[in-house]
Amino acid sequence: MKYSISSRPFKDAIYQSLSIVGKTLASPKRLELLDLLSQGSKTVETLAKETTMSIANVSQHLQTLLEARLVRFRKQGTYVIYELVDERVSQFLLAFRNLAEHNLPEIPKIKKEFFQAFDHSEPIGTTELTERLQKGNVKIVDVRPSREYEFGHIPEAVSFPIDELEQHLAELPKDKEIIVYCRGPYCAYAAQAVELLRTQGFAAIRFEGGVQDWREHQKQMQQ
């Protein structure tokens, strides 16, 4: 005798659970919070400042991310510090971003229109960055906040946060190409830094990606 077991309850339960993450990512602000946390752990106050949201709104979004098991938190004195659950969340965000940029032509268009206001030259990608570092005669500068640099950075990069860059100009060579990067393709720090450096006579160019892009490229090269 054959027994027929319906898989419908199983499928309904699985896709219902998967949709929790999908619903969580439906908010632009929560996507931005995850992007910021991919740079390292941050307090609620720092996240509120970076996103120009109130602390109350940030806390509500973080609670939703917490319920979806995408972030976790710890207390340090009077501060609550959030971070991504693990590296898999960061890898997912990178894949999600690449898929969206490939399928939605308006994203590259928005990027190009915004960054042309700072820099009319084309930024370099991970392959070009690797080639230039291998050839040498370049200086790579990380203009993110120092805490993000400490969390992780591209090898050989020096940390000159964008707000302190002018104070470090004398430390940069004018006989080398300066490659600047920040948090990734949606961060304006590197473009602002390139604009400043060029006005001061430096040969500067922007790396469009961030640390996560660099790491993923290195993994692919090793496979």
Q: Which of 70, 141, 165, 182 is catalytic?
A: 182
Q: Is the dihedral of CA 215, 48, 187, 143 positive or negative?
A: negative
Map residue 207 onto helix, strand or coil. strand
Active site residue 187: no
Name residues whose C-beta falls within 8 Å of residue 58's C-beta, 6 or more positions apart in sequence. 33, 44, 47, 48, 51
Nearest alpha-carbon partner for 183 in 155, 156, 161: 161
**Would you state the structure tokens that stand for residue 214, as one six-digit string?**
């660099």
Count other C-beta atoms under 10 Å from residue 195's C-beta.
Answer: 14
List the catalytic residues. 182
